[in-house]
Structure 1
Amino acid sequence: MAYIGFFQPKLLIPSDFKQRFTKQERHLILQHERAHLQAGDLHINLIALLS
């Protein structure tokens, strides 16, 4: 999974996400990804990449 987009980030998930993971696993994965977004990791990683 990965976020794309700087101003309006969107989470890309695999097409088999629902089949591959249980409901609880999906919930935890999405919480984890939201935490990255809220922490600003996407923007920090871009700055680090450009440095």
Structure 2
Amino acid sequence: MEALLLVAENDGPTMFALIGVMRALNRHVGRVNSGRKDPHWGRRKLVRER
């Protein structure tokens, strides 16, 4: 709410106000599993281990 007032009164950063409003509107919505692949970090195999 403060970020929205800052934008309205003093030409503050509009992105912060947008993020705050979107978080307030979606606060009771759960995250959805998007079906993305797991990251591969730390899972590389050496040639000799294949």
TM range (shorter): 0.3 to 0.5
Larger-gyration structure (1/2):
2
TM-score (norm 2): 0.34
Structure showing the higher strand proportion among its residues: 1
Structure showing the higher helix proportion among its residues: 1
TM-score (norm 1): 0.34
